[in-house]
Amino acid sequence: MNATANPTDDITEDVLAAVRAGRAAELPGLLKALEPAQRRALLAGLKGLRGELRSSRWERWEDRNRVNPALVVAGAGCITGAAAAATWIGAADLRRWRRQPPTAALLDVLSGRDPKWLGDLAHRLAARPATAEQDYPLIRELVRLAGCPVPTTDGCVEGWATAVGASRSPLVVTLRRDPHLTALAPRLFETAEPVRVLTWHRDPDGPDNWPTALAALADEGFLDRTVLLDGCTARLLRGGKPAQLKPYQEILEALRPTAEEERERAADWIALAADAPSAVAGTAQQTLARLAAAGHLAPRRLAEMSAAVLFRPEKKLVRSQLVLIGKELTRNPAAAPELLPELAEAFGHADTGIQERALKLVAAHLTDDPGLRAELAERAHLLSPVHRARAVELLGPAAAPAGEPGLYQEILPPLPVPAPLALAPGTVAETVELVAAVINARVATVEEFERALDGLVRHAYRDRAALAEALRPALADRWWLDPEQSRYYTQELPGLEHVAACVLDAPPTGTPDPALVSWRSDCHHPAIGAATHARVAEAAERIASRPVPFLLATPTVETGSLDPRVLVARLAEYGRLGADPAPADLAQALLRVRRDASVVPEAAALGTPAGDRLAAWLGEAGRPVAVTRRTAPAVEHRWGGVTPARLVLDTAQRTTVVREFPHRFHELAKARTATDRCWDGRDDTSMIAVLPEDREALAAWCLPVVTAGAVNEARESAAALPLLAAAGGPAGPALHLAVATGLGARHAEDRLRAVDALLTLAAQDELDAVRLGCDLAELIALGTVKPSRLADSLRTLAATGAYATTWAVLAAALPALLTGAADPRGAGDLLSTAAECVEQCGAAAPEPAGLASVAARGGSSRLVTQAARLRDALRRNEGAPAAGN
């Protein structure tokens, strides 16, 4: 039968061909020739093509990038509903990264639709948070064609701000011409997150400065000034990071509020002074000071503000508030009953200088009101002991402490006890479930990995066929089991997958390339990776050739350590079963075993080569690596940077490992000279699990990263310190130096980690406070640790209740600062913390060298006043009962 060719079918095929070729610009002309029924038929073919691309593998990424823009245009031209069209245009699988859709082609293909339909589509696209920002150019044109109001969703605001900011004209000119200015500009202050373009650094005098442009438009009447002022204050009240709030603060400053506008928002300024970040709070405080000076801030409101500001830790804000209160009391003495009680909030400030200022204000303006005196006396116990005598003199006996303090008790955290590892999975089903979870997880814990590896070895030894039968369905989605992907499977798989592939008898199909463990050859990460891989590869090989009943090196606790008696029992079971220890597994077991000389006879009694090696290792052979300390000179780089002089640690060779362990472990044991920071990011817990009983070597290798956190302001630099403090082996000079360096880290979260490590060492009675203090003095002298950062760390340490520990560290660190051996800048903060600790714990140790001479200099500098405070506290405590611990 002869068939007549249908021209419509030819057009449909032409459309599909254009889509497959990515010729989006041709589609509007092709689609205009189709009737509604033909478009519905074509849509089915487009959906099929979309499904084909969506299910394709990664190697077809070029096809997807070519076809998707045309697919978006063709689908939008065939779909009749606005909701379905918005879903199609905004689909994630039809986008390449965060690129905009083909706006011109879409507008061409949609231009014949009803304006109401176009407006509906614009608002539906704007309501899609994931794509509204990229779709703003399309939304803007749809709004123009539809004649409808512009959507004001967060995504639209972001897209609008980006679009107007990208104009080549001055920003104020672009905004003045923009038809959506009045609808979208107020929304700049209402988005869930700050609008990104506002946070970009701009030249305040440049043509693209947002605060200047918005203020100019408000002056010209294009924008409502009240809306901008209210928007700024509301956005600042919502809070956020200082960098996020800075542009709104700059807009507020550019608007230059009048006295009347400031007075109308007094409640907002009080709230900002109480809770906003320091920069914003300072601006609010200055505004309120102007209102108070003009008599526009009632004493009641000033008292409300003072109660909040005096509670803040920032000394600058507190001092400014005390000045403000003093001026108000001088101008209006009748305000004393309302303002003086709020001064008691400053009695508990950490800075004794602020306490003294508050007490002087009380003395200058105190009235005869017995109720006011009693209220202040009740809070006088918050004062430092150095000011209590003056408080009693001023407020009467009621200000004296209630009684003699009890014996001081140091507060340290509980002794850390590593959690024991759960037993290996008992059944094939449990093993398969755990293995699948570890392989599919982005990061697995040491416990999960070790139990899964041991489970595979154990059950492969008992019945490999049964294990493989259960494991294959659980890993069916792994790419290396897909016949279409097997051509890419040419080398060993990483980690546990390598062992699982061996169980399934799925070896690589080609010659493996040398594994790239790290791009660095001079750091410890390649050695750690090589040792870990050696054990995994050996486990896989033994499953295929000579299975072992279980692994010797499986840790007994979460840190990676192995109980020596458990290892003796495992070796005894090996002997009973006639199994030979796998070399890499035994090597890792020795590196993990906790050194306990009392177990040596039990190991020797095994009468096997492995037992003899264990006995020797628990003796002299397994001693931790020797660490050598030196000062590396400053280095000038060709690009102009300078690496300052710093303390570094070199590690010696471990002869036993080089002589007796498999060659994959030799890199781990070689002598290692300290290097610059390594950027090879690895899991610290897994690293420690390889050498859990040699934290000195690990601390030496981690020191460059910790130093980078203090010198180069790197983040996450001290992440390993709490883990190292809880690990095994001696806590010697390397670990103490790493902790000391971490106390001077740039970022507060890293300093807190170093404090945690210090507390852990103290709780375990492993802290050498004198060594740590001397390290700190040397680091300050080199400029590695800044005294201000150290003072913050030690204040945090003392605030936990470890006053005696903090003082012991400071007593060793202060002489270098007081005698001129180190930079004295910031020493006042350290002396303040030391004095606080001595006052709290009652220490009466000999005065640090140089303290008396500094205290006798005279003057009112923080260095001199805090030195005198520390000297007086030590002398006051001399002869008192010894502090308890």
Nearest to 120 by CA among 180, 91, 80, 157: 80
Instruction: Return all residues near 587 (Cβ < 8 A) that are at least 6 apart.
Output: 531, 657, 661, 662, 665
Looking at the fold, whether 9 and 45 belong to one and the same domain comes out as: yes
Q: How many residues does the chain have?
A: 885
pLDDT class of 205 with cuts at 50, 70, 90: confident
Residue 521 has pLDDT above 60, yes or no: no
Looking at the fold, whether 56 and 145 belong to one and the same domain comes out as: yes
Check residue 274 and give its pLDDT. 95
Check residue 489 and give its pLDDT. 72
Nearest to 817 by CA among 867, 772, 871: 867
Kindly state whether residue 296 falls inside one of the protein's structural domains: no
Looking at the fold, whether 617 and 641 belong to one and the same domain comes out as: no
Q: Which of 790, 805, 826 is the last residue of a domain?
A: 826
Looking at the fold, whether 31 and 130 belong to one and the same domain comes out as: yes
DSSP state of 107: H
Distances, alpha carbon 556 to alpha carbons 70, 423, 560, in Å: 59, 9, 7
The Cα 701–Cα 684 span in angstroms is: 12
Q: 715: domain range?
A: 627-654+668-826
Looking at the fold, whether 602 and 644 belong to one and the same domain comes out as: no
pLDDT class of 518 with cuts at 50, 70, 90: very low
Kindly state whether residue 639 falls inside one of the protein's structural domains: yes
Kindly state whether residue 440 falls inside one of the protein's structural domains: yes
The sign one gets for the Cα dihedral 631, 776, 747, 521 is: positive
Looking at the fold, whether 710 and 582 belong to one and the same domain comes out as: no
Distances, alpha carbon 291 to alpha carbons 151, 229, 278, 287, 529, in Å: 40, 17, 20, 6, 65
- Least confident residue range of 468-472, 484-488, 523-527, 754-758: 484-488
Which residue has tokens 């299975």? 547
How large is the average pLDDT for residues 596-616?
96
pLDDT class of 517 with cuts at 50, 70, 90: very low
Residue 3 has pLDDT above 60, yes or no: no
Q: Are 758 and 739 in contact (CB under 8 A)?
A: yes
- pLDDT one-digit tens code per residue, 361-376: 999 999 889 999 999 9
304 or 64: which carries more pLDDT confidence?
A: 304
817 or 736: which carries more pLDDT confidence?
A: 736
Kindly state whether residue 222 falls inside one of the protein's structural domains: no
Kindly state whether residue 359 falls inside one of the protein's structural domains: no
Distances, alpha carbon 625 to alpha carbons 43, 656, 732, in Å: 70, 11, 11
Looking at the fold, whether 589 and 727 belong to one and the same domain comes out as: no
Q: Which of 36-50, 342-356, 563-577 has the highest mean pLDDT?
A: 563-577
Residue 5 has pLDDT above 50, yes or no: no
The Cα 484–Cα 72 span in angstroms is: 29
Residue 350 has pLDDT above 90, yes or no: no
What the block records as the tokens of 49 is 């093509």
Residue 4 has pLDDT above 70, yes or no: no
How large is the average pLDDT for residues 166-189?
94
Check residue 94 and give its pLDDT. 86
The Cα 343–Cα 324 span in angstroms is: 12
Q: Please give the share of the chain, as a percent, with pLDDT higher than 70.
A: 93
* Strand (E) or helix (H) holding 7: helix 7-21
- pLDDT one-digit tens code per residue, 869-879: 999 999 988 86
Kindly state whether residue 560 falls inside one of the protein's structural domains: yes
User: Coil, helix or strand for 859?
Assistant: coil
Check residue 494 and give its pLDDT. 84
Check residue 31 and give its pLDDT. 87
User: Coil, helix or strand for 545?
Assistant: coil
Nearest to 780 by CA among 807, 811, 743, 752: 743
823 or 494: which carries more pLDDT confidence?
A: 494
Check residue 486 and give its pLDDT. 67
Give 651's strand partners: 627, 672
Kindly state whether residue 835 falls inside one of the protein's structural domains: no
- pLDDT one-digit tens code per residue, 378-434: 999 888 888 888 999 998 888 887 655 568 889 999 988 889 999 999 999 999 999
Q: Are 767 and 805 in contact (CB under 8 A)?
A: yes
Q: Which of 151, 186, 208 is the last residue of a domain?
A: 151
Check residue 695 and give its pLDDT. 95
Looking at the fold, whether 635 and 604 belong to one and the same domain comes out as: no
Q: What is the mean pLDDT of the chain?
A: 90
How large is the average pLDDT for residues 638-642?
69
Check residue 217 and give its pLDDT. 96
How large is the average pLDDT for residues 277-302?
95
Looking at the fold, whether 633 and 758 belong to one and the same domain comes out as: yes
Q: Which of 151, 184, 211 is the last residue of a domain?
A: 151
Q: Are 661 and 528 in contact (CB under 8 A)?
A: no
How large is the average pLDDT for residues 6-35?
81
Residue 235 has pLDDT above 90, yes or no: yes
Check residue 656 and give its pLDDT. 93
Looking at the fold, whether 611 and 464 belong to one and the same domain comes out as: yes
Q: What is the pTM of this model?
A: 0.80
- pLDDT one-digit tens code per residue, 255-265: 999 999 999 99
pLDDT class of 603 with cuts at 50, 70, 90: very high
pLDDT class of 238 with cuts at 50, 70, 90: very high
Looking at the fold, whether 636 and 587 belong to one and the same domain comes out as: no
How large is the average pLDDT for residues 110-132?
94
Q: Into how many domains does the chain fold?
A: 3
Residue 358 has pLDDT above 50, yes or no: yes
Kindly state whether residue 873 falls inside one of the protein's structural domains: no
User: Coil, helix or strand for 646?
Assistant: strand
Q: Which of 59-63, 164-168, 325-329, 673-677 has the highest mean pLDDT?
A: 325-329
Check residue 138 and give its pLDDT. 95
DSSP state of 672: B
pLDDT class of 882 with cuts at 50, 70, 90: very low
Looking at the fold, whether 591 and 688 belong to one and the same domain comes out as: no
The Cα 237–Cα 647 span in angstroms is: 45
Q: Are 564 and 594 in contact (CB under 8 A)?
A: yes
pLDDT class of 511 with cuts at 50, 70, 90: low
Q: Are 557 and 421 in contact (CB under 8 A)?
A: yes
Residue 884 has pLDDT above 60, yes or no: no
- pLDDT one-digit tens code per residue, 569-582: 999 999 999 999 99
- pLDDT one-digit tens code per residue, 430-483: 999 999 999 998 788 999 999 999 999 999 999 999 999 999 999 988 888 877
- pLDDT one-digit tens code per residue, 753-803: 999 999 999 999 999 999 999 999 999 999 999 999 999 999 999 999 999
